[in-house]
Each structure stands twice: as C-alpha cells, then as structure tokens.
Amino acid sequence: MMLVSRCLRLVLHDVLTPSCLHHFLLEFVGTALFLSASLSAVLIRPDLRSAASLTNQSHLSVGPESGAAPVCPLHVVLVFGLSVAMAALCVGGAAHLNPAVSIAMALTLRLRLWRAVLYVIGQLLGGVASAGLLMVLTGDVMPAVNQVSSGVQLHQAVTVETLVTLQLVLVVLKTTDISLPAAAAPLLVGLAVSLGHLVAVGATGCGMNPARSFGPAVVTLDFRNHWVFWAGPALGACLAALLNDLLLQPRWRCPKDWW
Amino acid sequence: MMLVSRCLRLVLHDVLTPSCLHHFLLEFVGTALFLSASLSAVLIRPDLRSAASLTNQSHLSVGPESGAAPVCPLHVVLVFGLSVAMAALCVGGAAHLNPAVSIAMALTLRLRLWRAVLYVIGQLLGGVASAGLLMVLTGDVMPAVNQVSSGVQLHQAVTVETLVTLQLVLVVLKTTDISLPAAAAPLLVGLAVSLGHLVAVGATGCGMNPARSFGPAVVTLDFRNHWVFWAGPALGACLAALLNDLLLQPRWRCPKDWW
Amino acid sequence: MMLVSRCLRLVLHDVLTPSCLHHFLLEFVGTALFLSASLSAVLIRPDLRSAASLTNQSHLSVGPESGAAPVCPLHVVLVFGLSVAMAALCVGGAAHLNPAVSIAMALTLRLRLWRAVLYVIGQLLGGVASAGLLMVLTGDVMPAVNQVSSGVQLHQAVTVETLVTLQLVLVVLKTTDISLPAAAAPLLVGLAVSLGHLVAVGATGCGMNPARSFGPAVVTLDFRNHWVFWAGPALGACLAALLNDLLLQPRWRCPKDWW
Amino acid sequence: MMLVSRCLRLVLHDVLTPSCLHHFLLEFVGTALFLSASLSAVLIRPDLRSAASLTNQSHLSVGPESGAAPVCPLHVVLVFGLSVAMAALCVGGAAHLNPAVSIAMALTLRLRLWRAVLYVIGQLLGGVASAGLLMVLTGDVMPAVNQVSSGVQLHQAVTVETLVTLQLVLVVLKTTDISLPAAAAPLLVGLAVSLGHLVAVGATGCGMNPARSFGPAVVTLDFRNHWVFWAGPALGACLAALLNDLLLQPRWRCPKDWW
C-alpha cells in the first residue's frame, strides 16, 4: 500500500512538471488541429445535388441518398499527409500526434511509460474535440468515420492497417535517430502518412492513428469493427519497434550482447 | 494637433526609407505575380463546348451556360500552393503576400503597425492589378471570385476560412522563428497554402488571403458575402498569433511573468 | 575584315575549350533526356479503343478518330516538372535545358553571348533528337506538338506563355544567386516548371521552353502559331531579367548609381 | 581446381561478414516492405460492384468480369514513388532495392560483383515474399503483374523500360557521388521512381525494377513477355553507367587518360 502511494507520488512528480504538461497540451492542440483540417475537407463540401439541379447535370448526382459529391481519394491522401506535416511543424517537430507512435516510443524505452499514457490521453481528447467541433458545425460526421469497405475482409483490413502503421513508425523512429535539417522531420512524417493513405484509403479509409479513428467513432457512437483501428496500429507499432531496434539499426553489435 | 503632426512625421520618416518602399514594391509585385499565375490557370482554358462539338463528345459539355470545362480541385490546390511558393521565393522569403500574415506580424509586435498597413495596401493593389489584367485579357473573371458554395452555410464558411488561415499563419510564424535552409521557408508556406486549399476549396473556393478575394471582387463588383473572406482570415490570424506566442512557443516561462 | 576574323578567332578560342564543349554536350543530353521521358508519357499509351471493345466500355472511347485515351492534365504537369528536375540533377545543377533561360543569362551578363548561342543550339538539337526518336518509335508525334487550344485567342496564349516563362526565369535567377543545399536548385526549377504547366497546360499545352516546342514541330513540320512559343518565352525571359536585376535583387543601391 | 576453391574461399570470406549479411537482410526487408505497401494499394480495394448495386450507380461498374474499380494512374505513381522513398529511408539511404541499381553499381566498380549478386538475390526474395504475402491475403495478384498494355508494341515497351531505368540509375549514381543532407537521397530516388511510373505506367505498368516484376510473376506463374522487364532495366542500367562515368561526370580529364 505504501509502495503504491510512493510510486504514484514519484509518477506525479514527473508528470506534473511544466515541461510535461506543455507536451500534453501540444499533443492535444496538434491532434485537434490536424484532425479539424482533415475532417473539414471531408465533411464541409458543396451540395452537388442542388448544384446539379441548377445546371441540369443530372448524371453527376450520385443517387438520392447522398447530396454531397464523393471525395477524390487523392484529395484525402494529400489533406491528411499535409495536415499532419503542418500540425507537427507548428507544435514543434517532437510531437507524436498518434497513439501508435507513443506506444512504439515507450516500447523502445525512448519515452517513460507515464508520459506515453499522458500523451495518448491528450491525443484522444484532441481527436474527440475536433470531431465534436465538426459535429456541431455540420450535424453529421458519419462520412469521416473509419469503416472497413465493402468487399474487404476483416483480416485484410487488419493487415493493411498493420502495414501502414509499421512503415509510419519506422519513419518516425528513423527521424528521431538521425540528425535532420530543421523542419525535415515533420515533412518526412507527412510523407509517411500520405503513403499510408495511398495504401489503405480504399480498404479502410486509412486509420493508422487510433486518435483519428476514435474521435468520429465517439461522436457518432458507431463502433462497428472499431477494434480493427486499434489492433492494427498497435501491432504495427510493436513490429516496427522490434524491426528497427533489432535489425535495421541494431542496438547490439555481436551475438554476445544478448546475454 | 502638434502631437498628431509629430507622430505623422515620425511615421513618414520610418515609412519613406528606401528599404520600406522596396518592401512595399516586393509585396505588390509578389502578390500580383502569384495571383496572375493562379487566376490565369482558372480563367484561360480551352473552350470544351466547341471542342466537344468537333469531336462529338456531347456528354462532356456541362450545359449551355458554361463553355469552359470545370477545373479539377486538385489542379486549383496545386496551382495556388506552387504559385505562392515560387512568388515568395522570387521576391525573397521574407515577403508576406497576404494581409492576414501582416496582421498577425503586427499583432505579435514582429512588425511596426505602419509598415503592416503599407504592406496590406501593397498586397491589395497587387490583387486588384492582377485581377484587372485578367479582366482585360479574358473579359470575364467571375469564375475566379471567391464564393460560398451552394449547400454551405455562412457560419461553416467563416469557420473553414478561420481554420485554414490559422494553420497558415502558425506555419509562417514558425518559419520566422526557427533557422531554416535557404528556400525552405517559401516552400513550407506553399505547402500550408496547398493544405488550406485542400480543406476549403469545396466550401468557399478558399480565400485565406483577403488580397486574393478582394482583387476579383473589385473588378467584378461582386461583393456578395465578401465579408466572409475578411472576417475569417482576420480571426484566424489573431487566433494563430495568440496560440503561437502564448502556448506553442511561449514567450513566458513561468506564471510570474504575467504580472 | 581583319577585325571580324580576329573577333571570330577570339570567340572560337573561348568556345573550343573542353569545358565549353562539355557544357554543350550536357545541354544536348539533358534536353534530350527530359524531353524523351516527357514525350514518351504523352505518346506511348495503351489503345483504349481496343481495350474498351473488350470490356464493352463504349462510353469511354472518345470517338473513332482517336484510339488512345486523353492524358490527365495533372499527369502532364507532373511528368514535365519531374523530368526537368531529374534531368537537371543528372547533368549537374548548372544546366539550363531551356533557350529562354540561356537568353536571360546572357542578357544579365551572367553568361557570354557566344556560349549562350552554343547552349541554345545544343538544346534545340536535343529537342529535335528526342522528337525524332519518338517519331521512329511511335510513328506519330502530333499529340506532343504545342498548340493554342480552341477557344483561346493568340494574344491570350502569348500572355500566358510570357507569364509562365517570367516566373520560371525568376526562379532560375534566384537559385543562381543564393547558396542552396546540393540538389535543391534542380528541384526548385522542377517546381517552377510544374507551376508553368499547371497554368498553361489548358491554354497552350505549355511551351515555356522553345526547345520543347521546336522538336515536335520540326519532326511533324507543323509550324502553325509556332511563333507564339518563341515570342512568349523570349519576352518572359527579358522581363524576368529586368525585373530581377532592377527591382527584386537590385544591383544598384541608390539612384546615383544610374549615372 | 585449387584456384577455384581458393577464389571461392576468398569470396565467402568477404560475403560472410556481419556487415555483408546485414546489407543482404536490409535489401530483403526493404524490397519486401516497399512492394507490400505498393501491391496492397493496387490489390486490396473496395468491391465497387457490390457498392454500386447498393447505391444503384450501375454506370460506374466496369463490366461483369472485374469487381474492383480500376486504380487511378496517379495513385499508382504516388504509391510506388513514396513507398520506395520511405523504405529506402527506413533501411538506410544506401540500400538499392532494385537489381538494376546493383548491376550499375557493380559495372562502375562501386560495388564488388559478389556483393551485387547477393544483393540481387535478396531483392528477388523480397519481391517474391511480398507477392506471396498478398497472394495469401487476397487470393489473386494478377492485377499487380507487369504486362505490356494492349496497343503497345514490344519494342516500344522495351524502349520505355530502358528509358525510365536509365534516368533512375543516373539519379542514384548522382546521389552517391555528391554529398547531400540526411534523408535527401531516398527522397530523390523516390522522385525518380515516380517519374518512371509517370512515363511508363500506361505502356507497361512500369517495371523499372526486375524484383518488382519478378515477384508477382513467380506467384502467378505468368511469364508472358517477362523478359521485357529484365532486358529493359538491364540495358538502361548499363547505358546509365556508361553515360554517367564517361560523359556527365567523367572519370577522365583529357583524351590521354584513355591509353
């Protein structure tokens, strides 16, 4: 009992520093910023149905149940990649903005566990805040919820999510290990996010970031297959941590280092 | 009375330096350059109707009232992002080319108020000049006027404009605060402009820059909802200035600094 | 008479150095390389008509007179921008690959006139060589000839060509004047070329480079409106040279420097 | 006999070092990583037929024999370019990830022949591994097999493959010869790969990398015209090696160096 309270006090002592709270705020602001921008691009769109009726372009309206035009996949790819890059640049290049990244950082002992937990909470709150903002603004955030596409099976979806998170976390770990020119790290992460969306936008809408999937799911209370968007990224982050530290940039030199 | 004239004389003394007039000219030339390029891409286009009648592609003509093909949104995104980046590179990385940026710079005391006013005048004149050039050249600049899309409500439009200007100004403030390799700042600003267009091109055509909205509006005398393209960017610039200097890169260290 | 022969001997003495001939070869190889890549992308394409007849997509075939699918404008933009950037990188960042650039360099006394003439000859030969290669390979290079689009008037076409060359040459002059990281100059030039194509691809197919326009025109002997693709770039290059050296990066400090 | 065994022992002594085996693993992992990402993007896609039947978009379904929507060429271009760039960044910028690159490196004496053979084996195994993974996951990798498009003749296909490999290898040789900022080399190679796909995606689906073509061909046992995707890149690599070392960045100064 005493031990627990002592541990807790130590943790709180570490957590309640100005620096740590500042990082918590940066994660919250950064995630809210990039998700607000990305989700706005998907949700606030011209009503093509009414525009079509004006100009008589009836063959462009895509059915009576959807008034807005479908978004071009490349548009989605670019807006997510760029918004993550710009948000990471604005809040400082060291922000994670993604629970999967924080998990990998904690797993490879680059970040203390308590800090990682705090960062993840900040990211999830940021995701919920921006989804809530868009709910208030547009009244419907269903098109922004990550869903497994029709014709794509669950094990395919999980594999794709694992793969895209794997490459994202590998890039993030690399950018923290080599010295880069200023502003290069956010841009590289943005490119990795773009690549992830290029790969997965057709299959799952591309989660790759549990905070991004969690926000719209909470606001719409639509948790169908939601576990996919936690299991895939978590698995990808673990694989990336192992692959990077054991094989790509090994922390050991010869087999003897293992015992 | 004497005080006013003295102030005015001080201001004029500061304003009428060669350096300041040079900057005024750079803002004018830069804004005219990037807007001429962007608006040309939107306005000078092949007449698909006549082309269609030649090759019998009647289902591609989009109605009798518009002869030109609609522009692909990604085309608009890329042309605005790249033209701002290239213009900022040509006139030197320190140019603003956007009244919202000058407002934020003045608000955070990075620029004297009188200079900011002068810069804004230069930008607006540049916007009007390029819109006028295209009016002479094409006879119709209506497609280049920023308008709130059908199905998008005014408060949504203002919010989107605020959001995209917020991220743009945050990026600009960041690029002025950290030391970057040569030519990096214009490219980062170009990426932020691209992101803004990705987010807002569907909702408002993306203003984000009152000089860009003002030019075509003056030439066509079409000021419907024009306040949206001033209120949104101004609000975004103020929010970005506060967010950056108080939270992201605080100029204070501990609560005591506040009194 | 003696004076002429003396001048000529001096010129030849300067021209016939290994360094100068190497640059001539680099201009030839670089221009041939980037144009071969770009024109291949436009000319060697699947025959959609036969593909369509297989899968019964009759509404996608664009009429009996054209078997190949039309190229997406963004595809053209990216292939020209990237191929110029990669070719400039491969042959060394100092290559011009564009007569308009060589003209501006000679005009601003950054390059001797005789060298500029030699470079332009190399570029034109490179353009003809790559157009000839594609003529042999595909039997028809008409789709690669720069033409003023239907519905676009000649003075509009010249203005657009002038504008895009203006911004390209401004960027090139800037990259030669500031010190950049390795490989940055070719990429910036590639971005300026991309911007030019974004602006002008609809109006004229985007010349911006007389060597690019000259090659396919020679091979097809189709010189309709060909002067547009020489007058526009030449005018743009002169304007850029004046604008850059007098206003943007003035070589004079105070009005007294003028007399 | 003794000589052979001695040579073999020397080779094995060089090959069986930890450094060399590490590079072999990096080639395998890097190739598997970038191909898994790229092929996933092409193969794991929503079933538009069922989606169309739900929303009654019958004119979007492209016939009864193909359930999935065709992939936009620009999507393919971006996913291959970005996945190569990110994989090369993750496994360290010095990885080749392409047999054509290893051939050119061995030919220009930048790499020992035995190492090149080992790298090529690693790349081919990586290609087969990722194609096998996708075979297990989706049951059909036919859409990912490189094929000469209908209407494109074999000699055209070989020329295009030669051309795109030529420019790729020239860029790779350049990046190894000049000193670049960290992370710049993988990005430049990614841009060259993107350019290659822009040029060749219509004609051959763009091989440019025998490992990329070999993997899906082995898994589907579809070797029609497969030689095109070995002959073109090999020829391009040899031409690039000659062009670079003899002309662009000559290793000789004056004609006397030749004898």
- Residue D15: inside a domain: no
- Residue C200: inside a domain: yes
Task: Kindly state the average pLDDT of the residues D60-81.
Answer: 69
Partner C contacted by D155 (CB < 8 A): yes
- Residue C7: inside a domain: no
Contacts B191 to A, Cβ<8 Å: 82, 85-86, 187
- Inter-residue contact D208 to D168 (CB < 8 Å): yes
**Tens digit of each residue's pLDDT, chain A (259 residues):** 778 888 788 777 777 787 888 899 999 999 999 999 999 999 988 865 544 444 433 333 333 344 556 788 999 999 999 999 999 999 987 889 999 999 999 999 999 898 999 999 999 999 999 999 999 999 889 999 999 988 899 999 999 999 999 999 999 999 998 888 888 999 999 999 999 999 999 899 999 999 999 999 999 999 999 999 999 999 999 999 999 998 888 876 666 666 5
pLDDT, residue C62, reads: 37
| Other chains touching B, judged by 3 or more CB pairs under 8 Å | A, C
Higher pLDDT: B12 or B213? It is B213
B167 and A83 within 8 Å at the Cβ level: the answer is yes
Partner B contacted by A103 (CB < 8 A): no
CB count, 10 Å around CB of D256? 7
Closest residue of chain C to B44, computed from CA coordinates: C203
Distance CA A99, CA A87 (A): 16
- Work out the minimum CA distance from A133 to partner chain B, whole angstroms: 10
Partner B contacted by C231 (CB < 8 A): no
A54 and B171 within 8 Å at the Cβ level: the answer is no
Partner A contacted by D21 (CB < 8 A): no
Nearest to D163 among C36, C54, C92 (CB): C36
pLDDT, residue A194, reads: 96
Task: Kindly state the average pLDDT of the residues D100-126.
Answer: 94
Nearest to D198 among C44, C46, C82 (CB): C82
Alpha carbons within 13 angstroms on the beta-carbon side of residue D126 total: 29
Partner C contacted by B139 (CB < 8 A): no
Question: What does C19-57 look like in DSSP terms, one character per residue?
Answer: HHHHHHHHHHHHHHHHHHHHHHHHHS--BHHHHHHHHT-
pLDDT at D62 exceeding the cut of 80: no
Nearest-Å Rg of the Cα atoms of chain C is 20
Q: Helix, strand or coil for residue D25?
A: helix
Partner C contacted by D256 (CB < 8 A): no
pLDDT, residue D68, reads: 56
Residue for token pair 């796909």:
D197
Partner B contacted by A130 (CB < 8 A): no
B and C: number of Cβ contacts within 8 A = 123
Partner A contacted by D29 (CB < 8 A): yes
Q: What is the DSSP secondary structure assignment for residue C177, as one 8-state letter?
A: H
Q: Helix, strand or coil for residue A149?
A: coil
Contacts C254 to B, Cβ<8 Å: 18
C243 and B25 within 8 Å at the Cβ level: the answer is no
Name the burial class of residue B111, with classes exposed (0-12), middle (13-18) and buried (19+) by CB atoms within 10 angstroms of its CB: middle
Distance CA C1, CA D255 (A): 35
Question: What does B31-77 look like in DSSP terms, one character per residue?
Answer: HHHHHHHHHHHHHS--BHHHHHHHHT-GGGS--TT--BPPPPHHHHH
Amino acid making up residue A129: A
Contacts D50 to A, Cβ<8 Å: 150-151
- Residue C106: inside a domain: yes
- Summarised one tens digit per residue, pLDDT across range B203-225 is 998 999 999 999 999 999 999 99
Band the pLDDT of B52: cuts 50, 70, 90. Answer: very low
- Summarised one tens digit per residue, pLDDT across range C168-177 is 999 999 999 8
- Summarised one tens digit per residue, pLDDT across range C18-36 is 888 889 999 999 999 999 9
Nearest to B37 among C63, C199, C254 (CB): C199
pLDDT, residue D6, reads: 81
Contacts D191 to C, Cβ<8 Å: 82, 85-86, 187
- Residue B229: inside a domain: yes
- Work out the minimum CA distance from C246 to partner chain D, whole angstroms: 34
Site from B77, B150, B173 to mutate, A interface, most A CB atoms within 10 angstroms: B150
Partner A contacted by D15 (CB < 8 A): no
- Counting the structural domains of chain D, the total is 1
- Summarised one tens digit per residue, pLDDT across range B87-111 is 999 998 788 999 999 999 999 999 9
Task: Kindly state the average pLDDT of the residues C91-111.
Answer: 91
D55 and A77 within 8 Å at the Cβ level: the answer is no
Residues with Cβ within 8 Å of B136's Cβ and at least 6 positions away in sequence, in order, are none
Nearest to B182 among C164, C179, C254 (CB): C179
Partner D contacted by A247 (CB < 8 A): yes
Distance CA D95, CA D120 (A): 11
Distance CA A119, CA A102 (A): 7
Domain that holds residue C206: 12-251
Partner A contacted by D72 (CB < 8 A): yes
- Domain with residue C169: its CATH number is 1.20.1080.10
- Residue B58: inside a domain: no
- Work out the minimum CA distance from B243 to partner chain C, whole angstroms: 32
Higher pLDDT: D157 or D64? It is D157
Q: Which of B221-230, C169-178, D250-259 has the lowest mean pLDDT?
A: D250-259
- Residue C5: inside a domain: no
pLDDT, residue B58, reads: 36
Partner B contacted by A17 (CB < 8 A): no
Higher pLDDT: A223 or B70? It is A223
Question: What does C205-242 look like in DSSP terms, one character per residue?
Answer: S---SHHHHHHHHHHHT--TTTTHHHHHHHHHHHHHHH
Closest residue of chain A to D68, computed from CA coordinates: A151
CB count, 10 Å around CB of C230? 16
Mean pLDDT of chain D, nearest integer? 86
Share of chain B above pLDDT 90, in %: 62
Contacts D26 to A, Cβ<8 Å: 248
Nearest to A74 among D45, D48, D74 (CB): D74
Task: Kindly state the average pLDDT of the residues D21-36.
Answer: 94
D33 and A63 within 8 Å at the Cβ level: the answer is no
Contacts D77 to C, Cβ<8 Å: 78
- Residue A55: inside a domain: no
Partner C contacted by B149 (CB < 8 A): no
pLDDT, residue D213, reads: 95
C198 and B138 within 8 Å at the Cβ level: the answer is no
pLDDT at D24 exceeding the cut of 70: yes
Partner B contacted by C169 (CB < 8 A): no
